[in-house]
Amino acid sequence: MTENNFSGFHKKKVSERQEILKKATQLSEEETALLSNGSLDLETANRMIENVIGLHSLPLGLATNFLINKKEFLVPMVIEEPSVVAAASFAAKLCRSTGGFTASASDPIMIGQIQLVEIPDLEKAIESLEKEKESIIEYATSVDPMVLVKYGGGLRDIEFRVIESERGSFLVIHLLVDVRDAMGANAVNTLAETLAPRFEKISGGKVRLRIISNLAVNRTASAKAIWTQKELESSTKGKFKGKEIVERILDAFAFADSDPFRAATHNKGIFNGIDSCVIATGNDWRAVEAGAHAFASMKGSYKSLTRYHKNENGDLVGEIELPLAVATIGGATATHPSAKIARKILGVTSAQELSCVIASLGLAQNFAALRALATEGIQKGHMRLHARNTAVMAGAKSEEIDLIAKKLADEGKVRVDRAKELLEELRGK
């Protein structure tokens, strides 16, 4: 697949886009048809959660232009907000001249927490537990309750933390578990429950909670990209000088990194990208969000998940790092038909590669928002795209939608009442 197959993709009809995608990614007829039908059937849904009463659909879009670690990616995004997919594709396009995104992911190590209270002597307990650590790891490897070892994962290490609380001091044990291509919640929780009685016996305390931590500090993904002054300048059709745009974006970053009020919105923009691909691939977006927001607060206040600086050429360098517990096997990634198609479209070979794509998408989304906010503002572009929604809300159908949307955007009045007036005029003709 090359970039060129997808030029002008946004101007095509949905059916034409599906055809291009089918050719580029070898989707079968059946898979392509599933794209139009929303794909999840009631029976599967009924097996996924409780008290099912129906299905809830959202648009599935495709971000283009993503060059990550020298490999081309098409990124499926499930989101209800206009302009997000366009912004990600635009940001990815603007950094292609410098090689696109460079991304990496740590080993997929999740933390399982075991809380032990009422330990008679904490120091002595930790000493005894340290002595038994290797034999506990050996035991965990031999029982392998969730078949991780077979696939190259398993319990890697055990850490001990004393926590002071309003109910006194207690011990928290961290199981560091390599979960390979799984999200890991089931594997980690099962292992924590399996090992807890041993820790209880050695420490002389009582086990309370045994559960995964979503603050996956040992399972992070990072991405980096460079946007040149030249690309930045032409992105505004010369309205702003490249050098000035770099300075403006650095000011925007400084704002987010020093003010939690701004950081919340800045990071929300990052999650416009991240969540949409996490959802498209059937992953747990609440886990990813909770982990990343906690990670953003680890320096004592809530901060930006991205960082920006100027390189020796005066070009803009953007970076992101965040915990990304995403899977390519298990859970909804295995049961949801669209999630399976999304994975095929992505062509990722592991959960680590998926997290590299998602980190790059988050960075792209953030860069796009900052570029717009720091120059002409976001409303102009956003309203142009929102105009289509407004036209639909006013009752416009098929060709009417684009005609009404264009008029609304040209007039700068993207409102349902105006859309209704325009629709009446159009139909009157």
Closest to ligand MEV by CB, 205 vs 269, is 269
Cross-strand partners of 61: 77
Single out the catalytic residue among 3, 72, 81, 193: 81
Instruction: Give the DSSP letter of residue 315.
Output: -
Write the secondary structure of 42-60 as one string of H (helix), E (strand) and C (coil).
HHHHHHHCCCCCCCCCCCE
Closest to ligand MEV by CB, 208 vs 268, is 268
| Residues at the contact surface with ligand MEV, assessed by CB under 6 A | 81, 265-266, 268-269, 272, 369, 373, 378
Instruction: Give the DSSP letter of residue 313.
Output: T
71 belongs to the catalytic site = no
Q: Residue 325 has which token pair? A: 């517990």
Least distance to ligand MEV from the beta carbon of 85, Å? 12
Each as own residue / partner, the long-range contacts of residues 164-170 (CB below 8 Å, 24 or more positions apart, any chain) are 167/117, 168/117, 169/122, 170/115, 170/116, 170/117, 170/119, 170/205, 170/208
237 belongs to the catalytic site = no
243 belongs to the catalytic site = no
- With CA atoms as reference, report the closest residue to 232 among 339, 39, 112, 374: 374
Burial class (CB in 10 A: 0-12, 13-18, 19+), 171: buried
Closest to ligand MEV by CB, 66 vs 367, is 367
Closest to ligand MEV by CB, 100 vs 269, is 269
With contact defined as beta carbons under 8 Å apart, do 325 and 338 qualify?
no
Closest to ligand MEV by CB, 369 vs 423, is 369
Closest to ligand MEV by CB, 151 vs 285, is 285
Least distance to ligand MEV from the beta carbon of 362, Å? 12
Q: Residue 155 has which token pair? A: 């319990």
Single out the catalytic residue among 131, 150, 268, 309: 268
284 belongs to the catalytic site = yes
Single out the catalytic residue among 93, 336, 382, 407: 382
Least distance to ligand MEV from the beta carbon of 370, Å? 6
With contact defined as beta carbons under 8 Å apart, do 310 and 246 qualify?
yes
* Phi and psi, residue 41, nearest 5°: -100, 160
Compute the distance between CA of residue 85 and CA of residue 78 in angstroms, rounded to an integer: 9
Closest to ligand MEV by CB, 95 vs 188, is 95
Least distance to ligand MEV from the beta carbon of 66, Å? 19
With contact defined as beta carbons under 8 Å apart, do 339 and 280 qualify?
yes
Residue nearest to ligand MEV (CB): 269
On the CB side of 56, CA atoms within 13 Å amount to 6
Single out the catalytic residue among 31, 257, 275, 284: 284
Greatest distance between any 2 Cα atoms in the chain: 87
With contact defined as beta carbons under 8 Å apart, do 213 and 113 qualify?
yes
Least distance to ligand MEV from the beta carbon of 79, Å? 10
- Cβ count near 42 (within 10 Å): 11
Helix axis angle, 337-346 relative to 260-280, nearest 10°? 100
Closest to ligand MEV by CB, 212 vs 359, is 359
Residues with catalytic annotation?
81, 268, 284, 382
